[in-house]
Amino acid sequence: MSKPLILVSNDDGITSKGIRVLVTVMKKLGDVVVVAPDSPQSGMGHAITIGETLRLEEEDIFEDVKAFKSSGTPADCVKLAKHYVMKDRNPDLIVSGINHGSNTSISVLYSGTMSAAIEGAMEGYPSIGFSLCDFSSNADFSHVEEWVEKIARQVLVNGMPKGVALNVNFPPKQNEEIKGIKICRQAEAKWQEEFDERFDPNGRKYLWLAGNFVNFDKGEDNDEWAIANNYVSIVPCQYDLTAHHAITQLNKDWDWEELKK
């Protein structure tokens, strides 16, 4: 029997430290193909390239791994992989990351890392987004490799619910070992944003997005709590954004006959 085929992508770019770690781990589990952005694409969300050229070039960057860099977004990379690079064989697993920085709570909506995983789920494949809650370019990934392998193995063996991708976040390297894994919900938190007014060397004003992350959630079953307490957080995510609980309320409380007048 052939080995599992694993697609690796990310949003930090094909030369990032995190994707090198992820490729190394995935090579233990199967045949690996990489399709990743040619430059950092953090915060791109689920953007795709429409009306502009997409470029795709093969790169000899990983040992014994076929790899391609793309001018597109993380979601573009998964589309290109599925429908162009790997069109003759379906992947058994799609993994994205390992992201340099947290993708907990509301950040999942902005994350290019998770958008690659969500795109995989939309295509019907088991998909995982991995992130390390350390924004340093020299972040230490050594403590997460065994957990990446364990989680990926579980998905390969047990599969995933249809339309679901896993958002996996790791705490930064600490003196104590990671305590374990928590299957969590997304924390109720948000970015409180502000725009700094700044001036370029020519005296022209520009704006720079800044702000602080604020956690309103006091529960102990969410991803923010898990990371703060040195656990790996796993949040099952879906691309169906329907607020199902609101359908009944809207049908009950809104006067549709009145709106016709």
- Residue 260: pLDDT band (50, 70, 90) is low
- Residue 196 has which token pair? 């700094």
- Residue 136: pLDDT band (50, 70, 90) is confident
Residue 203 lies in a domain: no
Tell me the per-residue pLDDT of 62-104, one tens digit each, with 9 for 90 and over: 999 999 999 999 999 999 999 999 988 899 999 999 999 999 9
Do 45 and 71 meet the contact criterion of CB atoms below 8 Å apart? Answer: no
| pLDDT for the residue 232 | 98
| pLDDT for the residue 192 | 86
**Residue predicted with more confidence, 213 or 37:** 37
* pLDDT at residue 222 greater than cutoff 60: yes
Which residue, 156, 33, 163, is CA-closest to 93? Answer: 156
Residue 167 lies in a domain: yes
According to DSSP, the residues that pair with 74 across neighbouring strands are none
The amino acid at residue 153 is R
Residue 144 lies in a domain: yes
Residue 39 lies in a domain: yes
| pLDDT for the residue 58 | 95
11 labeled binding residue: yes
| pLDDT for the residue 257 | 74
12 labeled binding residue: yes
| pLDDT for the residue 42 | 86
| pLDDT for the residue 261 | 64
What is the spatial distance between Cα 113 and Cα 135, in angstroms, rounded to a whole number? 14
Average pLDDT across the chain, whole number: 93
The amino acid at residue 142 is S
Stretch 115-130: mean pLDDT: 97
User: How would you class 27 by CB atoms within 10 Å of its CB: exposed for 0-12, middle for 13-18, buried for 19 or more?
Assistant: middle
For residue 79, the enclosing domain spans 5-187+219-259
99 labeled binding residue: yes
Residue 253 lies in a domain: yes
Residue 213 lies in a domain: no
Residue 204 lies in a domain: no
What would the DSSP string read from start to end of the chain? -PPPEEEEE-SS-TT-HHHHHHHHHHTTTSEEEEEEESS--TT-TT----SS---EEEE--STT-EEEEESS-HHHHHHHIIIIITTTS--SEEEEEEEES---GGGGGT-HHHHHHHHHHHTT--EEEEEES---TT---TTTHHHHHHHHHHHHHH---TTEEEEEEEPPP-SSPP--EEE-BPPSEEEEEEEEEEE-TTS-EEEEEEEEEEE----SSBHHHHHHTT-EEEEEEES----HHHHHHHHHHS-HHHHT-
- Residue 259: pLDDT band (50, 70, 90) is low
CATH of the domain at 148: 3.40.1210.10
Name the domain count of the chain. Answer: 1
- Residue 44: pLDDT band (50, 70, 90) is confident
Residue 207 lies in a domain: no
Share of the chain above pLDDT 70, in %: 98
